[in-house]
Amino acid sequence: MQPETTIIARPETAAPTTRSAVHKTVLMCRPEHFTVSYRINPWMHPEIPTSTSTAVRQWETLYDAYRGLGYDVELIDPIEGLNDMVYAANGGFTLDGKAYGAKFTYEQRVPEGPAYMAWFAANGFEVHEPQQINEGEGDFLLSNGAILAGHGFRTSLESHDELRGIFGREVVSLRLVDPAFYHLDTAIAILDDENIAYLPKAFDDASRAELERRYPDAVHVNEEDAAVLGLNSFGDGRTMLIAGRATDFERQLTERGYETIGLDLSELLLGGGGIKCCTLELRR
């Protein structure tokens, strides 16, 4: 598959942007060892060849986009044999200068937890080693001062109690029910401090009702756009970086006055990840 051209799209009919961007600092990991050699999610098919060089090239478009927006981008060294380390979001969760480490579900990814915790410690964070299974910002998203916390596939409900104890914030537990959307950041995108986009069918009835109550003006994304990991996006409150093939989601965002940058991370999608999976926000 040929990489898509980077898209910066704002239709003439879109409302003028009055949104303010929030400065972001993020952690990324260059996919020098990316491949799909095992299957731990529905997206992964080891029988389909992957290209590390294509993954690196596509990852670099995301890195360059962040730098172009003025983000501070920090890097963790990739470790040979850890194919999925590029999905930095799973490495932990940071807030108020603290880092809650990851404790992975599958043995293939377990060594990533200590590697990310060592990076946090070396870079000034107060590190909290997890006792409960969790996959970091893959399942923990900060929204309007609260932490939206997924469970059901990769993160245990018990880890939500650890999260509350460490950060002293409200934690909103949300149960994921669709194996294709096994991390919260594949089913919810944080748009700004007050609003989100999400795929309703990814959640059980109680969680969906809670999201409807908290976010009555949320963007509901269709299944086609979610299936290209359109919701696995990241932004600064003004500009959203999204999967270039999530065309209806892009339209919804521009109609609400967001700027969008569409990118092709199709090679990394073969491992079950996209833009947000490659991005761990650092909140010092």
CA dihedral 115, 31, 270, 110 (to 10 degrees): -10
| Other beta carbons within 10 Å of 97 | 11
Distance CA 201, CA 191 (A): 19
For this structure, is 29 an active site residue?
no
* Cβ within 8 Å of residue 61, ≥6 positions away: 3, 6, 263, 264, 265
Which of 29, 128, 160, 277 is an active site residue? 277
Identify which of 63, 11, 18 has the alpha carbon closest to the alpha carbon of residue 268.
63
Task: Give the type of residue at 273.
Answer: G
For this structure, is 183 an active site residue?
yes
Distance CA 269, CA 43 (A): 7
- Interior/surface letters 190-214, b for 16+ CB within 10 angstroms, e for the rest: bbbeebbbbbeebbeeebbebbeeb
Dig out the tokens for 257 from the structure. 């006055």
Dig out the tokens for 21 from the structure. 């961007």
Which of 29, 151, 183, 278 is an active site residue? 183
CB 56 within 8 A of CB 30: yes
Q: Edge-to-edge, what's the strand order for the sheet holding 25-28?
A: 72-75, 25-28, 280-281
Q: Edge-to-edge, what's the strand order for the sheet holding 146-151?
A: 140-143, 146-151, 171-175
Active site residues: 183, 277
